[in-house]
Amino acid sequence: MKTTNIPGALMLAASLFWSCSDDDNGPVMIPADAPVITAPTSGSSYILTEDNAAGQADRFVWNKANFNVPTQVNYSLQADIPGNDFQSSASLGQTTATQLAVSTEHLNNTALRLGLPAEEASEMEVRVTASVNAHTEPLISETILVSVTPYGSDGGGGSYLWVPGGYQAAGNYGGDWSPAEAPQLRSLPDSDTEFEGYIYFGTASEYKFTAAPEWGNGEYGDGGSGTLLLNDGENLSAPAGYYLFHVDTENLTYSLLDTQWAVIGDAIPGTGWESDVDMTYDATQKTWSIALDLQPGEMKFRANDDWDLDYGDDEGDGTAEKGGTNIMIEAGGSYTVVLDLSTPGAYTYTITAE
């Protein structure tokens, strides 16, 4: 009579089951058919205007990628200059659908970020990548070549980064973590990859940098030790303060300088050029101000009781320039002095007699 060791058989079956489970994490995904961009067609041309910034520049459409198993596919629409092989590409958006609407403002900012000159027609390559997880090779479409004529922001060129975070509501910058309402950093006049701007953190907070006023279009996270990671990394963080931000998207570095602003000069009775008189920040107006008596003489704005960072006025037109000429006070009297650093790259001040 044949007997069967039931417990032993069960243990053997369990052993086989777990052995199989360790080696088999699900259906094998085999990248097969890459997405194909069907609209717009290669050779399309875009002349962008600031009047239509909020409108749609175009809707990009592509065929679904095939990984040989039913699964959610993540698509990334990327742009770069021809011949760069997408080594420093910019994101036009991410989606799980097979189409993506791109706004005029976003396409414009992407073109400027890639170094395309304002008010000139230049070529841009666009492609779609399809991915499912970190273990499966992505599928990449053939590129299309389009012509883009970007406009210069505020008529003066430049591109922007947005800084959404948990500080926004406390600093009068709209809702927390809202890129569309977040303050901006603007590219420097001599660089398309270096950005600067002042932002007030009314409370300690986390934040990120985004390449567009929306999520999913290129975000910079913490790479550690003052470095950034594109589309990766944890949230950045900072204590409460009024910061001068500097970001380099080419070298993926950033820095913050906490600033307290003051006035200094021989136009200020009793202090002269020896010591500062501190100004007060108004989060509602986003300005620094002080009411004080002045006498005929000169003055400047200075940060942190130090000459490493100061503003004067080279043309005498109310524009504050870094390291600029001393500001003249012609007549003595009571004045309200206001410094506005809220618009990146366009800093201003007023000196109003009471």
- Mean pLDDT (whole number) for 168-179: 94
Give dist(CA 216, CA 262) in Å, integer: 39
Q: What is the CATH number of domain 37-155?
A: 2.60.40.10
Whether residue 7 is predicted with pLDDT greater than 90 in this model: the reply is: no
CA distance 94 to 207: 20
Tokens found for residue 167 = 């500080």
Sequence-distant (≥ 6) Cβ neighbours of residue 30 within 8 angstroms: 67, 68
The pLDDT of residue 257 is above 50? yes
The answer to whether residue 337 scores a pLDDT higher than 70 is yes
> What is the mean predicted confidence (pLDDT) over 228-242?
95
For every residue of 74-109, DSSP letters joined together read EEEEEEE-TTSTTTT-EEEEEESSSEEEEEHHHHHH
Report the SS3 class of residue 10.
Answer: helix
- Where residue 276 falls among pLDDT bands split at 50, 70, 90? very high
The pLDDT of 126-153, averaged and rounded, is 90
> What percent of the chain is modeled with pLDDT above 70?
90
- pLDDT of 109: 78
**Lookup: tokens for 135:** 């273990």
Distance CA 303, CA 139 (A): 51
Residue pair 261/221 in contact (Cβ under 8 Å)? The answer is no
The confidence band for 332, taking pLDDT boundaries of 50, 70 and 90, is very high
Residue (of 160, 128, 153) closest to 38 by Cα position = 128
Residue bearing tokens 């790259």: 345
pLDDT band at 171 (very low <50, low <70, confident <90, very high): very high
Give the closest residue to 200 by CA, choosing from 161, 167, 227, 224: 167
For residues 307-329, average pLDDT: 95
Using alpha carbons, select from 224, 182, 229 the residue that is nearest to residue 207.
182
Residue 15 parent element (H or E): helix 6-23
Omega prior to 213 cis, within 30 of 0: no
The more confident residue out of 10 and 345 is: 345
For 278-305, b/e burial (b = at least 16 CB within 10 A) is ebebeeeebbbbbeeebeebbbbbbbee
8-state DSSP, 113: H
Considering the chain, what is the average pLDDT of its residues? 87
336 pLDDT higher than 60: yes
The answer to whether residue 6 scores a pLDDT higher than 60 is no
For residue 157, the model assigns a pLDDT of 47
pTM: 0.62
Residue 125 has pLDDT above 50, yes or no: yes
Query: Which of helix, strand or coil describes residue 155?
Result: helix
160 within 8 A of 186, measured Cβ to Cβ: yes
Confidence tier at 23 by pLDDT (50, 70, 90): very low
pLDDT of residue 111: 86
Average pLDDT, integer, range 124-135? 90
Among 113-117, 225-229, 290-294, 329-333, where is mean pLDDT lowest?
A: 113-117
**Beta carbons of 208 and 242 less than 8 angstroms apart:** no
- pLDDT value, residue 158: 57
| Amino acid 26: pLDDT | 56
Which long-range CB contacts under 8 A does 16-22 form with residues at least 24 apart? Answer: none
Tens digits of residue pLDDT in 38-63 = 999 999 999 999 888 888 999 999 99
pLDDT at residue number 1? 36
Given this structure, which CATH class describes domain 261-353?
A: mainly beta
DSSP H or E stretch at residue 197: strand 194-201
* From-to residues of CATH 2.60.40.3620 in the chain: 160-258
Digit-coded pLDDT (tens) for 203-231: 999 999 998 888 887 899 999 999 999 98
In this structure, are residues 311 and 197 in contact, taking their beta carbons and an 8 Å threshold? no
The arithmetic mean of pLDDT across residues 259-265, rounded, is: 98
What pLDDT is recorded for position 50? 84
For residue 2, the model assigns a pLDDT of 38
Do residues 102 and 59 touch, judged by C-beta distance below 8 A? yes
Q: Are strands 194-201 and 205-207 parallel, antiparallel or unpaired?
A: unpaired
Tell me what pLDDT residue 97 has. 92
d(CA 79, CA 137): 20
Fold of 160-258: Immunoglobulin-like (2.60.40)
Which residues of the chain are in CATH 2.60.40.10 domains? 37-155
Is residue 65 classed as helix, strand or coil in its secondary structure?
Answer: coil
